[in-house]
Amino acid sequence: MVNIAAINVAKNILPKQLFCQKVWKNFDLSSKYYSRKCGYVTHHKDLNGINHYFLGAPSNGFKIPFKNGITPQDMMVLTDVEFKALPKTTEKIISYRCIGEKPEFLESYKRYSKSLNVKEGDKVYMPEYAYSATNIKYAKGYLKDGKGILYEIEIPPGARVSRGAEEIVFPRSSRFECLSKEENNGLTIIKLKYILPFDHLA
């Protein structure tokens, strides 16, 4: 069910800056509109369908109804506010994210190559609602013949991430620190640690 009331209220308070780079003030997240005690955002399963807008795709469809009569922009507005109201994790979680090997002629190769060349200590920025899985076998299904990038992501206690049965979705514009990198027969294994954004509700 689409929470139109929550979307309309959220539009009035959503900062223009990216989610993780803004201190939120002067609004009440205890409202029934944003209560997500279930631990996941309303559009947890649908955000992959709009992620291309945050990865450089033309934005001409951003305000056109996408699913259940709402627009990608409305989904973003509600999702960003709901992330701020999710319950915090209470223990460390390890999740996995895989990207299949990209040939040089593909438009996505430039971003893939940049990810491939990350070094220990580097900060990794993911502008989309990044998905990961707690089941490594599920994550490896996205590799191409076992080749590509395998992110092993440490999520520290106190994170507000959207948690499904086996999937975890991070807030858009999330940042991570590279802890290590190793090569293994065409598979680049990169260990990351999620950087907790400033949380004024802490």
For 79-92, the pLDDT digits (tens) are 888 888 889 999 99
For 105-139, the pLDDT digits (tens) are 777 788 889 999 999 999 999 999 999 999 999 99
What's the confidence (pLDDT) of residue 1?
47
Residue 26: pLDDT band with limits 50, 70, 90: very low
What's the confidence (pLDDT) of residue 68?
77
Hey, where are the domains in the chain? 4-85, 93-194
What's the confidence (pLDDT) of residue 179?
98
Asked if residue 161 has pLDDT above 80, the reply is yes
Out of 3.40.50.720, 1.10.10.10, 3.40.50.300, 3.90.176.10, select the CATH number for domain 93-194.
Answer: 3.90.176.10
- Write out the DSSP string of the chain: ---HHHHHHHHTT--SS-GGGS---S--TTSTTT--TTSS-TTTTTGGGTGGGGTT---TTTTS--BTTB-HHHHHHHHHHHHHHSPPP-S-EEEEEEEE---TTSTTHHHHHHHHT--TT-EEEE-S--EEES-HHHHHTTSBTTBEEEEEEEE-TT---EE-SSEEEPPTTEEEEEEEEEEETTEEEEEEEE-PPP-TT-
More confident residue, 57 or 133: 133
Highest mean pLDDT among 40-49, 50-59, 148-157: 148-157
